[in-house]
Amino acid sequence: MKPGNPVFSSLGTTIFSVMSALAEEHGAVNLGQGAPDGGGPDDVRQVAAQRVIDGPHQYPPFRGIPELRAAVAAHDRRFYGLPVTPDNVLVTSGATEALMAAFLALLAPGDEAVIIDPSYDSYRPAIAAARASVRAIRLTPPDWWLSREALATAISPKTKVIVINTPMNPTGKVFSDDELSLVAEFAARFDAYVICDEVYEHLVLDGRRHRPLMTFDGMGSRAIRIGSAGKTFSLTGWKVGYITASVDLIGLIAKAHQFLTFTTPPNLQHAVAYGLAKDDSYYVGLAADMESRRDQLAAQLAEIGFVVLPCQGTYFLIADYAPLGLQGAADVVAKRLTIDAGVATIPMTAFYAEPPADLSLLRFCFAKSEAALSEAGRRLRRYFANRPAGERAALDAAEAAT
């Protein structure tokens, strides 16, 4: 008898774990996994530490402590004018758990979920676990524009859920009001819900503003808005996420959540509640800091000869290695650069079920220290200055490791 749920037993280790392990093995600068350098705000961490001493230490309410649910609602009113209360909020153990709970609650066998490729890698297995089918819209670089025609082709009477990720991992795109209006229009026309992955909401660059889909007409009862303290406070290991939605949808999703993680450590919830009330200078400074790091990395890559695509938000920018004369699929090139150049990235092929042919794009994480970014640039310059010596051997080694 073959053990295991076929949805998960057929999956391999995620590309993020693979590339991080390869980076550690070869002493590479890891610009792959989206984990920022640094420890997050001191005051937020101090609140968490004090709460470890003071308690409480038992199960908090499974929907989240009242203080954090109130803080999330206040945050959403403050930044977006959403007319929400704590009853509209559910606290989860990270945004990935929020996604899983939402998919399990809303999808049934025979339903379809529309996602937008290139897409975060947890969407497909979570939808499959709900025994629903995926319909994918494929966007194309460099602007990754979402068109009416693409939506019309993907959405059908079987569509139960549309997934929109803005700011978008991995592309760094912030969807425009026109594109979001299209999503709202089609969701209403086909009576679908929209799962809004908005974890990078405060990492919108160049003076742009994030606009939740929930603020569009008619979306208050259809949109499920997911946020992440890990991204907002650069504390990804805390795994504190939250959902804002209608009271009815929160009640439904909470039923799935209670059998996934049930609850989240109370000291971390208290600290996040404190952090969400920080003044505007914190949020402005967070975006400005990330914008500076993006610009540093983009300039380095362009100087080396990569073609750097526009990046409007998130931790990530995309660069095309084809102009540098590198040959091979993106996953092979990413491993080659990790082994031979000492810089780890994520191949964009990882964000598709069936990647486009000749996709020569890599995702670089710029949420790193200036020193780490400078060292990555130095290593890449040295590698390309010394090519093609040793390139064949490195390629063979990368292919063997695949």
Q: How far apart are CA 232 and CA 209, in angstroms?
A: 15
Residue 384 CB coordination number (10 Å): 17
Same domain, 272 and 141: yes
The domain in which residue 20 lies consists of: 6-40+281-401
Domain count, the chain: 2
Within-domain flag for 308: yes
Same domain, 305 and 241: no
Q: What is the CATH number of the domain that holds 214?
A: 3.40.640.10
Q: Which amino acid appears at position 103 of this protein?
A: F
State the pLDDT at residue 389: 47
Within-domain flag for 189: yes
State the pLDDT at residue 7: 65
Do 205 and 288 touch, CB atoms closer than 8 A? no
Tens-level pLDDT at each residue, the chain (402 residues): 555 666 655 666 788 899 999 999 999 999 998 989 988 999 999 999 999 999 999 999 999 999 999 999 999 999 999 999 999 999 999 999 999 999 999 999 999 999 999 999 999 999 999 999 999 999 999 999 999 999 999 999 999 999 999 999 999 999 999 999 999 999 999 999 999 999 999 999 999 999 999 999 999 999 999 999 999 999 999 999 999 999 999 999 999 999 999 999 999 999 999 999 999 999 999 999 999 999 999 999 999 999 999 999 999 999 999 999 998 899 999 999 999 999 999 999 999 999 998 899 999 999 999 999 999 999 999 999 987 644 544 454 444 454
Within-domain flag for 145: yes
Same domain, 36 and 62: no
Same domain, 128 and 165: yes
State the pLDDT at residue 392: 46
The last residue of one of the domains, among 246, 279, 312, is 279
State the pLDDT at residue 15: 87
Same domain, 202 and 57: yes
Rounded to 5 degrees, φ, ψ at 288 are -65, -40
Same domain, 171 and 183: yes
Q: Which amino acid appears at position 345 of this protein?
A: T
Same domain, 240 and 254: yes
The H or E element containing residue 85 is: none
Q: How far apart are CA 79 and CA 277, in angstroms?
A: 11
The last residue of one of the domains, among 231, 258, 279, is 279
Same domain, 270 and 319: no
Within-domain flag for 342: yes
State the pLDDT at residue 13: 78
Rounded to 5 degrees, φ, ψ at 255 are -65, -35
Same domain, 321 and 201: no
Same domain, 259 and 317: no
- Identify which of 400, 303, 345, 360 has the alpha carbon closest to the alpha carbon of residue 28: 345
Same domain, 328 and 375: yes
**Which own/partner pairs from 173-180 qualify as long-range (CB within 8 Å, at least 24 positions apart)?**
173/139, 173/143, 173/144, 173/310, 173/312, 173/313, 174/204, 174/208, 174/210, 174/312, 174/313, 175/146, 177/211, 179/145, 179/146, 180/211, 180/213, 180/216
Within-domain flag for 1: no
Same domain, 188 and 78: yes
The last residue of one of the domains, among 279, 306, 324, is 279
State the pLDDT at residue 5: 66
Within-domain flag for 242: yes
State the pLDDT at residue 11: 62
Q: What is the CATH number of the domain that holds 34?
A: 3.90.1150.10
